Amino acid sequence: MTLNQAAEAFLQDVWHRMTEIYERENRRIGELPKPRSLQAGMKDYLRVAWRKPKGGGGYGRTHIDVFEPFDWSDDAYKSEAGSYVQELTDEVLADEVFPAFIERMNRIFLDGPYDPQFFDYRLELVLEFDRDDHVLRLSQVLVNEAKRLRLRQRLDAFIQTKILSDLPVRPAKEDEFFFARLLLNPDLFEQKRENVEPLIRRLGDKLRENPGRAAGWEAECVSAFKAWAQERFLPRYFQRTGDFGMPWVLQEADGRGEPAPDELEFFLYAAQEIGTLEPDTRQQYLELAVQLGSEQAAAFLAHGSGRFESMRRSGRFQGKANDVLQTIEIRILSEEEEAYAEALEYLIDLLKNGFPKGYRFGLKSKEKHFLPLPKLAKSRLHQFFGNALRYPALYPKLAEYAGLAMEEFAWYRDVEPGEKSVMPGTYAVFGLGLCSDAYFELVQQYMKLVDTEHQSMQDGYADAFIEAHGLSVETMPVWVSILLGGSESAKPVKSAPIDSPEQADALLAELENIKSYPREAVLYRIFGSPGKLAQVAKKASPPLKDKLLRISEWMA
């Protein structure tokens, strides 16, 4: 291909600069650890862009991106452009420069001098030029078919040997990222729910005994589904707006196609999977699907999946639930015990049938009662359980609900995610534990489950418990379990009521069964520091003094 002088000059400048960048990247890639079997290569994107000079001086700058950039970042390699850019019309760029650039790139992409892991099996090439009234954007995807077939063969082998095989065989954690994304890559795997879902569930089942790995795999799947939706599906029918509240706007009818039924069905499946960790994103995607004409998405938004009782009514209360949106709404029509009993029965029935425990809650009630824990969010959900706890006859139902709701690493959605977030069952357990000693065992069960790394609302419960029940030989085991369930940032309790030999003996008995680090944390919560404990012991009279000195040996 014979190029005009300006096209040749521009291409030579770009090629020289790009080669320098690629050679550095190639050396870096060659020094990396051996790639995973499901990783075809590193580079799958290259953008060359010319940006107009700011302020009118010079000939602008050439930007080279070797990774697809985020909207909010600019990591491009930049260099000054020459006077040749003045002669590069849209026609010259489209008819001469870009075809020549593709030809050169295809040669190094298929048979280049770089590490075998340098290029992925596909490479997207983009050329952009600023104009006064538009941005010219040309793009093309190159595919190394031989490399794609080899990757598909490795994926098939991985599924047979690592996923479908029996335990104890599991894939390495490092392979989960690539496996999730290859399952959602239409170049390598047919995008149908019946093909993808069994493999996702199979690996989840194999990792179930390791909660950390299982949670990590769930997060990888959600990330992969979001990437599929944002990169492969949504851009075909919507335009990005950059608006956080409404990031996608439907394209004009004459500029978009209509999704095939199976494509739209897979998008709905993706939305549901994403919703396990990001319910708000799921709702947004379902609303976008409605704009594409999906009656199923509209039904999901209105009534849920159909697996649960979406509506229950009586003369005393009304309940509405949507499992797809993970929402429950309760309306108390008559402020009486029976109304809350019926509402609790509805919640219990939903949870028994597998309704998501981390739901968002709406309440309409004239009464507002809350637990005596100042830092606990005064949410509608807290209000509902505070109201229900006024009726001792409902305690068994509240305990039944709490037993069903409690789940490690799960969270209510009654507040914005953050320090006020609590594990499902929290309000019922905290209330029952303050109201009756019949539910001390439930409190202890809760404290063993609570995520002490990410939840801190239980820290104030130790003081509330003492205020409600005092500290005795009978309450000491529960109180110590509450202290053990505190977060790493938990502060000492307001007072250290170890003022009798019986209390000290009970504390000693509990401490004997605790490992050293948690034991030190409990003692810190009670006494604050070794020095403060020494002062308490110094002021005490025997035999309490001797027992406190024994306790202090564990706090040195």
CA distance 121 to 42: 9
Would you state the pLDDT for residue 47?
96
Q: Within a 10 A sphere around the Cβ of 451, how many other Cβ atoms?
A: 17
Distance CA 201, CA 206 (A): 9
Residue 245 is predicted with a pLDDT of: 66
Strand partners, 126: 47, 139
Cα–Cα distance for residue pair 288/94, rounded to 1 Å: 34
Which token pair is 235?
């851009």
CB 488 within 8 A of CB 464: no
pLDDT at 496: 66
Q: What is the pLDDT along the chain (556 residues), one digit of tens a residue?
A: 456 899 999 999 999 999 999 999 999 998 888 888 999 999 999 999 999 888 767 899 999 999 888 665 678 899 999 999 899 999 999 999 999 999 999 999 998 889 889 999 999 999 999 998 899 999 999 999 999 999 999 999 999 999 999 999 999 999 999 999 999 999 999 999 999 999 999 999 999 989 889 989 999 999 999 999 999 999 999 998 876 667 899 998 887 888 999 999 999 999 999 998 898 899 999 999 999 999 999 999 999 999 999 999 999 999 999 999 999 999 999 999 999 999 999 999 999 999 999 999 999 999 999 999 999 999 999 999 999 999 999 999 999 999 999 998 899 999 988 999 999 999 999 999 999 999 999 999 999 999 999 999 999 999 999 999 999 999 999 999 999 999 989 999 987 678 899 999 999 999 888 887 888 889 999 988 888 888 888 888 899 888 888 888 887 6
CB-based burial label for 121 (10 Å; 0-12, 13-18, 19+) = buried
CA atoms in the 13 A half-sphere facing the CB of 188: 28
The whole-angstrom separation of Cα 93 and Cα 75 is 24
Residue burial 521-555, b: 16+ Cβ < 10 Å; e: rest: bbbbbbbbebeebeebbeebeeebbebbeebbebb
